[in-house]
Amino acid sequence: MVEKEKPEKRKIDELIDFENLEQLMDQLMKSFEESEGMKADKAEVFGVSIKISKDGKPIMQELAKNLKPKQELKMREPLVDIRSDSENVFIIAELPGVEKESVDVRLDGLKLSISAESAEPFFKQVALPFQVVEEPEKTSFNNGILELVFKRKQNPKLKGKKIKID
């Protein structure tokens, strides 16, 4: 019968007490499963920080528990469709439950921003495929559907200095 060789002990095995670390992680996971931590409003954070001290010994520290996530502003992203032809760029955005007066559309170069205030605010910024004339040809808002039509700029002037290649 052949005896199995014991695996060689690594340096890291001397620095970190893996058995103790594994037990600590098991305890943390068990307490997490038993707690109310699975609910978003009662989220808990578990973990372990391991540092090596100046004398080469590991320092294990349990991370904070019961950290509640920051309240994030709940913002919906509207569905936006962008199409173009040789003369126009067409934008259609879905903003359900939004009143026409609360819609704010801004154009900055190739960036179009759409925002609206309602029970849940909406915001989306999209890149247009072409430079467009800043004043739209057509705008409409009906039953939560925003439609915009912009004329494409013909032969937009390129900015910057032309670089001569040798």
Domain ranges of the chain: 11-62, 79-151
**CATH hierarchy code of domain 79-151:** 2.60.40.790
Q: How far apart are CA 84 and CA 43, in angstroms?
A: 45
User: Hey, which of 35-44, 59-68, 155-164 has the most confident mean pLDDT?
Assistant: 155-164
Using alpha carbons, list the distances in angstroms from residue 28 to 60, 61, 64: 14, 13, 11
Q: State the pLDDT at residue 95.
A: 94
Q: Confirm if 118 and 53 have CB atoms less than 8 A apart.
A: no
Q: What is the pLDDT of residue 25?
A: 79
Read off the pLDDT band of 105 (50, 70, 90). Answer: very high
Helix (H, G, I), strand (E, B) or coil at 89: strand
The least confident of 2-16, 38-52, 101-115 is 38-52
Residue 89 near residue 132, CB atoms below 8 Å: yes
Mean pLDDT of all residues in the chain? 79
Q: pTM of whole model > 0.85?
A: no
